[in-house]
Amino acid sequence: MGPALLFVHGIGGARDPRAECAAWLAALAVGVRKADGQGDSSAAALNGLAEPAFAYYADLFAARQPLGAAGIDPADTEELRNLLDELIEVRLELGPDPRERRILEHARAELRPPHPGRNADEPVRRIVSVCTTLLALPGLRRAGQWAGGRLMAGHLAQVTRYLGRSERDATGLTVDRRIRERVLERLDAARPTVVVAHSLGSVVAMEALHHHPGPVPLFVTLGSPIGMRAVVRPRLLPQPPAVPGCVERWLNFWDRDDIVVPRPRLEDDVLPNGLGCRPVTERIDSDGLWAHTATKYLARGSVAGPVAQALRGAVETGGA
């Protein structure tokens, strides 16, 4: 039995899992071609190396009826404010150009707590306003990933909703557990699996892999928020955060233009596992447009090359 390839998506709205899997596979094929410089690196060839699968969970976030503006529960606003505050502060530490600095400082000022006595929707509206301001950043403005601050705020809130671990369905299961189960359902303990996870999906996959008994020769994280020390890292399970025992190699990639990745060096925040594996972080540079998409990362030779190498290695060893 040959190896498997599992994709885990990040924040965002509803999508077609089959179409998304095909798009990720096509981008990976582009990256492999860049890395190899020879041979057949088409999506079909990658399909021949491993059986691809896509862990989809966006529908679980859509199931809750929104209680405030932008589909954000007012109870979530404090954690979302902390998330935005860390994104802005670390971005300022990177030394942006004067125009970007003005935008970031304006957004930071908007994050100040509202005056006492304001209505319940005020914190939510403030979050939306901050996101609207951040969309004026050149990379976000040109890319068109979000139509407005309302949509951006709602998607970023998925991070705090997952880590809040309090939303329950009719059976009492929390949304984070249901999301992890979607990942675990796609994993096969009988064969090695290369796992590629993006954005919030990197958090989901890392937690899920702690419950996976099968081998993972390579775990790849793209645009991961795991290193966010105010909102994400303290809420990861288990604590302290550590590499799952099944992971043999972990490569973490980040783009300087990716605003969702304020603290990229996971080596500083995740303990090694019993195999001695720890994250290895590498920076990539985009074309200056919106960098926080999985396909943007996967089309890079430095990202796709190790994925193909791990799959080929698993095939050569008979998938064992």
Percent share of the chain, pLDDT over 70: 85
What is residue 38's predicted lDDT score, i.e. its pLDDT? 58
Do the beta carbons of residue 254 and residue 292 sit within 8 Å? Answer: no
What is residue 8's predicted lDDT score, i.e. its pLDDT? 98
Q: Is 302 exposed, middle or buried (0-12, 13-18, 19+ CB in 10 A)?
A: middle
What is residue 142's predicted lDDT score, i.e. its pLDDT? 52
Q: Does domain 4-60+173-316 have CATH number 3.40.50.720?
A: no
pLDDT digits (tens, 9 = 90+) for 193-234: 999 999 999 999 999 999 999 999 999 999 999 999 889 999
Find the range with the poorest average confidence among 37-41, 82-86, 93-97, 187-191. Answer: 37-41
CA-wise closest residue to 198 among 237, 252, 143: 252
Rounded to whole angstroms, how far apart are CA atoms 25 and 49? 12
Rounded to whole angstroms, how far apart are CA atoms 11 and 21? 15
What is residue 293's predicted lDDT score, i.e. its pLDDT? 83
pTM for the structure as a whole: 0.91
Buried b (16+ CB within 10 A) or exposed e, 71-81: bbbeebbebbb
Domain boundaries, the chain: 4-60+173-316, 69-164
Per-residue pLDDT at 75 exceeds 80: no
What is residue 105's predicted lDDT score, i.e. its pLDDT? 95
Task: Write the DSSP string, 157-174.
Answer: HHHHHHHH---B-TTS-B
- Which of 69-73, 93-97, 289-293 is most confident? 93-97
* Angle, vertex CA 91, rays to CA 86 and CA 94, nearest 5: 135
pLDDT digits (tens, 9 = 90+) for 19-65: 999 999 999 999 998 887 755 555 666 767 788 999 999 999 886 65
Residue 247 has what DSSP assignment? Answer: B
Q: Where are the alpha helices (DSSP H) in the chain?
A: 17-36, 43-49, 58-62, 77-93, 98-110, 122-134, 138-143, 149-164, 175-186, 200-209, 294-298, 301-316
Do the beta carbons of residue 295 and residue 148 sit within 8 Å? Answer: no
What is residue 70's predicted lDDT score, i.e. its pLDDT? 53
Per-residue pLDDT at 259 exceeds 80: no
CB neighbour list of residue 169: distance below 8 Å, 6 or more residues apart: 63, 175, 178
Mean pLDDT of 186-193: 93
Per-residue pLDDT at 118 exceeds 80: no
**Residues in the chain, how many?**
320
CB neighbour list of residue 19: distance below 8 Å, 6 or more residues apart: none
Do the beta carbons of residue 25 and residue 52 sit within 8 Å? Answer: yes
Buried b (16+ CB within 10 A) or exposed e, 182-210: bbeebbbeebbbbbbbbbbbbbbbbbbbb
Question: Any idea which residue has 């996959």 for tokens?
Answer: 205
What is residue 67's predicted lDDT score, i.e. its pLDDT? 46
Mean pLDDT, the chain, rounded, equals 86
Number of neighbouring beta carbons within 10 Å of residue 47? 14
What is residue 176's predicted lDDT score, i.e. its pLDDT? 97
